[in-house]
C-alpha cells in the first residue's frame, strides 16, 4: 500500500509543486476543514509510517486532533525542493474518515506538516513537535525479548536459504553487536527501548525504527552429532544421535541439511553413515532439533586467501587488460529500490591519468568474503562502474552497498569503492532510474520510430531556456513518463505519467550530452 501511495504521490508532486513555484507565502490562515473539506471529528483511524525507507504502517494512538487541527498557510517551498517531501519525509500520516472510503495523507518534513489538495501545497503555520508522533506506549523503559534463529528453506526466495528470527527478517546488523555467526536454535536475548512491532506477513518485517536495541546476548544452541542410518528391516534412512540421551529428539526443520555454501537438501539424500551436526536450543535442556548441517557450524571456517577483486568469479577480465586498453570509465551512482524516473548521477572520464589511477585501484582492490545474510541488503545505494575499451567492448562491475556478488553466488565486502575525485578531469551528468530499460521513440504523427536503451540518455540541466524552440517532433515514451524533445533533438523536458495539468511555464529542461536523439535513432535502427 505504501509503495503505491508513494508512486502516486510522486506523480502529483510535480503538478502541485509547480503550481506553488515562485509564490510568496500567503498570510492567510486556513483550518483543517478549509484544506481537507473534512471535520477532524470525522476521522476514524490514523496510520503512521516513519520515513520512506520504512514499509511498516502502524495505528497512530497519539493526539492527532491536537497535531492536525492547526493553522495552515500556502507553502512557498521552491519547486526544486518539493521532491524532498516525498524522498525525505520524517512521518507519513494516513487519515481515514467515517463518512468516506477515501483517505488523505499528511507529511512531516523539517518540523512542518504538508498537505496537497486542489493542486495546492499547504504547510502548517507553526512547527510541530516530532515527539508528538512517537507512540504513547514508547518509553525509555528497557524491555527484553527472546527470539530464536530459524531458517526458511526456499519458501521466501525460491531455492535460497534465508535466516529468520522467530519468522521475521533480521532487522539489524549482527556484527554491530559482536555476533559473527548465527546457528539455527541460537536464542537471542534482545534488550531494547521503544516498541517491538512486526508486520503481519511472511516473513515478517520488524519496524526497526521503533525499536532501539541496547544489547544482544546470544545463548548458543548445543551442537550434537547425528548419523544417517538405515531403518532396520527397510530401505529408508533415519537420523540417529550418537549420544543416546537425545533419542527422543523432535525434528522441527523438515529434515533439511545446510551446507557451507548455504545450499540445502533432505538428510535422506546423504549416504548411509554420514555424520551430520544438529543444533538444539540450550534453553530448558530442549531436545528440539532446529537445524542440521553437514559441517560443524561452530568450528572456524578458514577462508581462502587472496581475495583481490580481479580474482573473483566474474572479474577475471581485469587480469586480461591494462589501463592502456581503456578509453573511458563511467561511474553511475544511484539509490536502490526507488521509483523509476528518479535520477542517478553519472561521472565519466577519458583522461588517461585518471583512467590509470581508477583501474589500478580496482585491480589491487582487496575484498573479504561475507555471508549471504550480510550481502543481501535491501535499499541503500548501488554503484555501477563501466570500463569502455578501445575495441568497442565494455566490462562493468555492480557494487551494492559496498558488496560484490560474484557469478558463483558468493558475496564479498570491498575494502572501499574507488570513485572519481573532485579534482579529476571528469564530466558529471544525470540519467534515469528505470526497470524496463528501454524507451520507445514516436514521431509527430504518433508512429513508432525506434527502441533506445534508457542508459543512452545522459543529460545535464539546460539553462538556455531562451534557445528552446517551439514544436516537438519526437517524444520518447518510458515506464515513468514522456520525454518531449524540441526541434534541436537534444533538449527535452519530462512529463510524468497520469499528469493532466498543463504546466508549460514551469517545465524544467535537460540537454543530452554526447549523441543527440537523431544520432541515437540512426544508431539503433541500424543495429536492428
Q: What is the CATH number of the domain that holds 374?
A: 2.60.40
Residue 332 contacts residue 384 (beta carbons within 8 Å):
yes
Q: How many CB atoms lie within 10 A of CB 239?
A: 19
Q: Which of 4, 29, 28, 12 is nearest to 120 (CA)?
A: 12
Residue 299 falls within a domain, yes or no? no
Q: How many domains does the chain divide into?
A: 5
Closest residue by Cα to residue 458 from 519, 512, 509: 512
| Whether 93 contacts 48, CB under 8 Å | yes
DSSP assignments along 92-151, one per residue: EEEEEETTEEEEEEEEEETTEEEEEETTEEEEESS---GGGGS-TT--S--EEEEEEEEE
Looking up cell 486542489 gives 118
Structural domain harbouring 125: 2-133
Last residue of a domain, one of 133, 167, 184: 133
Distance CA 258, CA 281 (A): 17
Q: What angle do CA 384, 386, 390 make, to 5 degrees?
A: 180
Determine the 3-state secondary structure of 314 from DSSP: coil
Indicate if 313 and 397 belong to the same structural domain. Answer: yes
- At 88 the three-state DSSP class reads helix
Closest C-alpha to 254, from 269, 271, 273? 269
Grid cell digits, residue 3: 509503495
For residue 168 the three cell numbers come to 521475521
Residue 464: enclosing H or E segment and its boundaries? none
Which residue in 314, 337, 318 sits closest to 326, CA to CA? 318
Which of these three, 81, 110, 133, is where a domain ends? Answer: 133
Q: Would you call 456 helix, strand, or coil by DSSP?
A: helix
State the cell numbers at 489: 533533438
* DSSP codes joined into one string, 469-488: PS---EEEE-SSEEEEE-TT
Same domain, 496 and 514: yes
In a domain, 298, yes or no: no
Does residue 53 belong to any structural domain of this protein? yes
Any domain includes 82: yes
**How many whole angstroms separate alpha carbon 482 and alpha carbon 435?**
15
Are 471 and 517 within one domain?
A: yes
Judgement on whether residues 155 and 188 belong to the same structural domain of the protein? yes
- Could you say which of 99, 133, 167 is where a domain stops? 133
Could you tell me whether strands 288-289 and 250-251 are parallel, antiparallel, or unpaired per DSSP bridges? parallel
What is the CA 351 to chain-centroid distance, rounded?
Answer: 33
> Is 128 inside a domain boundary?
yes
- Residues 296-330, buried b or exposed e (16+ Cβ, 10 A)? ebeeeeeeeeebebeebeebeebeebebeebeebb
Q: Quick one: cell of 268?
A: 535422506
The pLDDT of residue 427 is: 93
Whether 213 and 232 map to the same domain: the answer is no
Q: What is the C-alpha to C-alpha distance for residues 103 and 45, in angstroms, rounded to an integer?
A: 10
pLDDT at 27: 72
183 and 256 share a domain?
no
Return d(Cα 165, Cα 17) in angstroms, integer.
43
Q: Are residues 314 and 207 in the same domain?
A: no
- Residues 110, 151: one domain? no
Tell me, what's the pLDDT at 412? Answer: 94
Residue 292, burial from CB neighbour count under 10 angstroms (0-12, 13-18, 19+): buried
Question: Considering the domain boundaries, does residue 429 fall inside one?
Answer: no
424 lies in some domain: no
Are residue 129 and residue 8 in the same domain, yes or no?
yes
Residues 226 and 238: beta-carbon distance below 8 Å: no
For residues 212 and 285, state if they share a domain. no
Same-domain status, 35 and 120: yes
Q: What is the reported pLDDT for 139?
A: 52
Measured over the CA atoms of residue 260, residue 286, residue 151 and residue 367, the dihedral's sign is negative
Shared domain for 285 and 183, answered yes or no, is no
Write the DSSP string, 393-429.
-EEEEEEETTEEE-TTS-EEEES------TTSS-EEE
Q: Which residues in the chain show pLDDT less than 50? A: 1-24, 138, 500-506
Which residue(s) pair with 213 in the sheet? Answer: 192
What grid cell was written down for 235?
530401505
The C-alpha cell that represents 304 in the structure block: 581462502
Please state the pTM of the whole predicted model: 0.44
Please indicate, yes or no, if residue 304 is contained in any of the structural domains: no
CA distance 10 to 5: 9
What angle separates helix 79-88 from helix 2-20, to the nearest 10 degrees? 160
Amino acid at each position: 500500500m505504501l509503495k503505491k501511495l508513494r508512486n502516486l504521490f510522486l506523480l502529483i508532486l510535480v503538478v502541485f509543486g509547480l503550481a506553488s513555484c515562485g509564490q510568496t507565502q500567503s498570510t492567510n490562515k486556513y483550518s483543517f476543514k478549509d484544506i481537507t473539506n473534512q471535520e477532524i471529528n470525522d476521522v476514524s483511524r490514523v496510520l503512521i509510517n516513519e520515513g520512506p525507507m520504512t514499509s511498516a504502517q502502524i495505528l497512530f494512538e497519539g493526539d492527532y486532533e491536537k497535531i492536525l487541527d492547526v493553522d495552515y498557510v500556502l507553502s512557498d517551498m521552491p519547486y526544486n525542493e518539493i521532491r524532498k517531501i516525498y524522498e525525505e519525509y520524517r512521518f507519513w500520516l494516513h487519515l481515514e474518515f467515517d463518512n468516506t472510503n477515501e483517505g488523505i495523507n499528511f507529511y512531516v518534513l523539517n518540523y512542518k506538516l504538508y498537505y496537497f489538495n486542489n493542486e495546492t501545497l499547504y504547510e502548517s503555520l507553526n512547527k510541530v513537535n516530532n515527539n508528538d508522533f512517537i507512540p504513547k506506549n514508547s518509553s525509555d523503559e528497557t524491555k527484553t525479548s527472546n527470539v530464536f534463529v530459524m531458517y526458511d528453506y526456499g519458501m521466501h526466495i525460491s531455492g535460497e536459504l534465508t535466516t529468520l528470527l522467530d519468522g521475521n527478517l533480521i532487522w539489524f546488523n549482527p556484527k554491530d553487536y559482536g555476533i559473527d555467526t548465527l546457528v539455527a536454535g541460537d536464542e537471542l536475548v534482545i534488550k531494547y527501548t521503544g516498541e517491538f512491532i512486526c508486520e503481519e506477513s511472511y516473513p515478517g518485517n520488524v519496524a526497526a525504527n521503533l525499536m532501539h536495541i541496547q544489547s544482544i546476548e546470544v545463548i548458543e544452541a548445543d551442537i550434537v552429532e547425528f548419523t544417517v542410518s538405515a531403518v532396520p528391516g527397510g530401505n529408508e534412512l533415519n537420523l540417529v544421535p550418537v549420544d543416546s540421551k537425545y533419542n527422543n529428539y523432535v525434528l522441527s526443520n523438515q529434515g533439511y541439511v545446510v551446507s557451507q555454501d548455504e545450499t540445502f537438501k533432505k538428510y535422506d539424500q546423504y549416504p548411509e553413515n554420514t555424520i551430520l551436526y544438529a543444533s538444539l536450543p540450550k534453553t530448558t535442556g530442549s531436545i528440539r532439533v532446529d537445524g542440521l548441517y553437514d559441517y560443524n557450524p561452530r568450528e572456524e571456517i578458514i577462508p581462502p586467501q587472496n581475495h583481490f577483486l580481479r580474482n573473483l568469479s566474474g572479474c577475471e577480465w581485469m587480469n586480461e587488460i591494462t589501463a592502456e586498453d581503456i578509453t573511458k570509465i563511467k561511474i553511475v551512482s544511484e539509490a536502490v529500490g526507488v521509483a523509476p524516473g528518479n535520477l542517478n548521477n553519472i561521472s565519466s572520464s577519458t583522461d588517461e591519468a585518471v583512467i590509470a589511477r581508477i583501474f589500478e585501484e580496482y585491480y589491487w582492490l582487496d575484498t573479504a568474503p561475507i555471508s549471504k545474510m550480510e550481502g543481501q541488503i535491501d535499499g541503500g545505494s548501488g554503484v555501477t562502474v563501466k570500463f569502455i575499451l578501445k575495441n568497442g567492448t565494455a566490462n562493468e562491475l555492480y557494487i551494492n552497498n559496498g558488496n560484490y556478488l560474484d557469478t558463483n553466488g558468493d558475496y564479498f565486502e570491498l575494502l572501499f569503492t574507488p570513485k572519481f575525485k573532485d579534482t579529476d578531469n571528469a564530466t558529471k551528468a544525470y540519467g534515469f532510474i528505470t526497470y524496463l530499460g528501454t524507451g520507445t521513440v514516436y514521431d509527430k504523427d504518433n508512429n513508432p520510430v525506434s527502441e533506445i536503451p534508457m542508459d543512452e540518455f545522459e543529460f545535464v540541466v539546460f539553462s538556455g531556456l531562451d534557445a528552446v524552440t517551439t514544436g516537438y517532433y519526437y517524444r520518447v515514451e518510458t515506464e515513468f513518463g514522456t520525454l518531449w524533445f524540441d526541434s534541436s533533438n537534444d533538449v527535452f523536458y519530462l512529463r510524468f505519467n497520469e499528469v493532466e495539468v498543463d504546466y508549460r511555464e514551469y517545465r524544467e529542461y535537460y540537454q543530452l550530452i554526447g549523441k543527440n536523439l537523431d544520432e541515437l535513432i540512426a544508431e539503433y535502427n541500424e543495429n536492428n
